[in-house]
Amino acid sequence: MRLAGKVAIITGAGAGIGQATALLFAREGAKVVVADCDAQMGAETVSLIEKGGGEAIFVQTDVSKAADAERMARTTVETYGRLDILVNNAGIYMQANVVETTEDGWDRILGVNLKGTFLCSKYCIPEMIKGGGGTIVNIGSEAGIVGIKNQVAYNVSKSGVIALTKSTAIDFAAHNIRVNCVCPGTTETPLVK
């Protein structure tokens, strides 16, 4: 129960790493806000949390849209009265090199993976400051450190998440907000499959 009394938003919590994180946080006592663009998958995660004795709500969220990110943060505080933890996990993937990558594909990958992390942080940090601090965990990737063949947009997006993490950590340390980045390797999730 290391997270008892805490309120946590997990983006991309409908499946994979996000769902596993949401379930773990709930088992550790957090009230979890399941944020995902897929309503059915998000509702399934909430159901799993509730079956395990935890507390959760679902907020349908496209993290690449400012209005959705702002509504997610507002709904969290309206429901639970505070916001302690944000896990920026939502992400998408595309396999292509720089020549094969379309402009739309580039914009979509960076929109969800990098802009989404920026927007969710932008709207959650002020709520954390009001509560005296908080924690942000950004999910990067080994691809953001070493680069992996034929996934240029994904590699760039995850490199950006690492840089965003460093900048945000420095900018908000004085507000008692800790910001870290986890960079997993290949993980067996629906996205990878």
Each residue's pLDDT expressed in tens, for the chain with a length of 193 residues: 999 999 999 999 999 999 999 999 999 999 999 999 999 999 999 999 999 999 999 999 999 999 999 999 999 999 999 999 999 999 999 999 999 999 999 999 999 999 999 999 999 999 999 999 999 999 999 999 998 999 999 999 999 999 999 999 999 999 999 999 999 987 776 666 6
Amino acid 186: pLDDT: 77
Q: What's the pLDDT at 68?
A: 98
Please tell me the predicted confidence (pLDDT) of residue 110.
98
User: What pLDDT is stored for residue 190 in this prediction?
Assistant: 66
Global confidence as pTM: 0.95
Q: What is the DSSP string of the chain?
A: -TTTT-EEEEETTTSHHHHHHHHHHHHTT-EEEEEES-HHHHHHHHHHHHHTT-EEEEEE--TTSHHHHHHHHHHHHHHHS---EEEE-------B-TTT--HHHHHHHHIIIIIHHHHHHHHHHHHHHHTT-EEEEEE--THHHH--TTBHHHHHHHHHHHHHHHHHHHHHGGGTEEEEEE------STTT-
Q: pLDDT value at position 192?
A: 61
Q: What is the pLDDT of residue 193?
A: 64
| Residue 80 annotated in active site | no
Q: Which of 80, 93, 123, 154 is catalytic?
A: 154
